[in-house]
Structure 1
Amino acid sequence: MSEDPAPEPPSGGDAARARLLELAHARGSSLAGLSALIGRNSSYLQQFIRKGSPRKLEEQDRRTLAEFFGVDESELGGVPDSAKDKSYASSRGGALGDEDMYAIPRLSLAAAAGPGQFAGGEEPFDNFGFSGRWLRENGFDPKMLSALTVEGDSMEPLLRHGDEILVDRGSRFERDGVHVVRMGDALMVKRLASAGAGRIALLSQNLAYPPIEVSLEEVDVLGRVVWKSGRL
């Protein structure tokens, strides 16, 4: 039986949250245990269902849960496989000859290189075209990549206001580097470094911003920044 107290039904008719709660109760799985299954802190899915934070499950988390319950990802807020195939379909011809191209979604929310800002909707408004060969040479799965815009100056000169960054959502915090993280509703891009057992340091490139040290449970690492683009 589930160890969780019965959460209140999700508000706003959110089918994905309602379905996840239904599946957990049917399987007798605790939300804390399911959070551990996807590598999150114990309250992650409780917050997702009760508070709507995050607004959507990350693709890797959704896929893991769907495989665990034996359901299609669309039941947990994903898109049907047929739609995914169209979204990431490769095209032939053009400037790259017969090399395949992948459409990487540009998200309308911004990753703040400063105090952070609230994450809005996460539906793509456009996409970047990337060479499939380049993605494979760098070991990237196109389905796990998203593009975000940097706001603020705390990561200058490495990342400037208005730069667009490519985030690998399949890459968790396993080594120091620049990552996109969520603390509560604030989305930030910071250099991460281990700060002792169970703790992590969020570092700015701009020395005018002091380091932030928190426990690993206080921050969700959404992905590693693997590429940047900016105007000259």
Structure 2
Amino acid sequence: MNGRSSASRVLARRLLAEFVGTALLVTMVVGSGIAAAQLSPGDVGVQLLENSIATAFGLAVLILLFGPVSGAHFNPAVSAADWLLGRRAGTGISGQHLVAYTIVQAIGGVAGALLANIMFDRQVFEIATKDRLTTGHLIGEVVATAGLIALIFTLARTGRAGLSAAAVGAYIGAAYWFTSSTSFANPAVTIGRAFSDSFAGIAPNSVPAFIAAQLVGALIGLTLVVALYPGVAAAADEVVVPHGNTDN
């Protein structure tokens, strides 16, 4: 009984970390997008620069803050890749925990967008109208997500997971610019951004295709890292950063 109770408390803490972390990530993305549009009206390039800098640095901070508790996935694609990779090796996240992570990440994404709307005196509940559904954008999402997954699992496999905060933040900041989609690379963030009709928004009709492209990208990234590092499954417990040392 005590073992079950302890495991439940550990899971509760991890889910709280994933919820709050994902919510704050979306708040940073959407909030900085709204601020950028207000500060630099008419200059989309400067707006994107402001948005990408805030997101890159903010994501690094969130990984440092919540990583020791939950691993700082903040992304259903990362959690799914962790589960898929660790199935045979007995490592990584369990199937039940994958479902729980995905649910709280998605809810957190929506909550983060609503919080950004509130902070900038917008309507609390908005539906984005920015249509992003183009072939180029979908390919951009495949590329962005594949690179993110390959980076995260390579760092874990090579014993450099401690660099994930800086490396993942830097990658996402760069991918804002080298991908046509501005690198959502995250189903939970994609869902959240549909709830703010702002610079960072995405129309609901674009969301399913974006998520499908992200999942394809995750599989490609995982395939690449398995080919490069055949023993990577053993490191699934270290994604995105080593966690569990706060469980007691």
> TM-score, normalization: structure 2?
0.29
Q: Which has the higher helix share?
A: 2
Q: Which has the higher contact order (CA 8 A, sep 6+)?
A: 2
Q: Which has the higher strand share?
A: 1
Q: Which has the larger radius of gyration?
A: 1
